[in-house]
């Protein structure tokens, strides 16, 4: 709770107005709507896609290989 001045007691502070909160279902629907706009309406299919094994292997081979102990300071 925010206090209006240093040394104030909680009982001396007026209650702050409660901001309007979205219900969890409404927040989820908002996220789904935003995903539908961003991904062309097929958000569950986009989320279900996993990188293929070939893509993972190609990324691992393209990454620089580090040999020996490496200090994070250098």
What's the pLDDT at 47?
66
DSSP one-letter code for 63 = S
pLDDT (tens digit, 9 = 90+) per residue, 19-63?
Answer: 666 577 777 778 777 777 776 766 667 667 766 777 777 877 777
Instruction: Count the alpha carbons within 13 Å of 53 in the hemisphere toward its beta carbon.
Output: 0
Whether residue 3 is predicted with pLDDT greater than 60 in this model: the reply is no
**Number of domains comprising the chain:** 1
What's the pLDDT at 10?
63
pTM for the predicted model, two decimal places: 0.27
Whether residue 17 is predicted with pLDDT greater than 60 in this model: the reply is yes
Domain that holds residue 47: 19-60
Question: Could you tell me if residue 38 is inside a domain?
Answer: yes
What's the pLDDT at 43?
60
Tell me how far apart the alpha carbons of residues 74 and 71 are, in angstroms, rounded to a whole number: 6
| Structure-block tokens of residue 27 | 């927040």
Is residue 1 exposed (0-12), middle (13-18) or buried (19+ Cβ within 10 Å)?
A: exposed
Question: Could you tell me if residue 9 is inside a domain?
Answer: no
């Amino acid at each position: 709770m925010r206090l209006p001045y240093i040394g104030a007691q909680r009982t001396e502070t007026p209650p702050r107005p409660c901001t309007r909160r979205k219900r969890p279902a409404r927040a989820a629907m908002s996220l789904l709507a935003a995903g539908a706009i961003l991904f062309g309406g097929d958000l569950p299919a986009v989320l279900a896609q996993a990188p293929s094994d070939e893509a993972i292997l190609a990324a691992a081979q393209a990454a620089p290989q580090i040999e020996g102990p490496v200090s994070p300071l250098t």
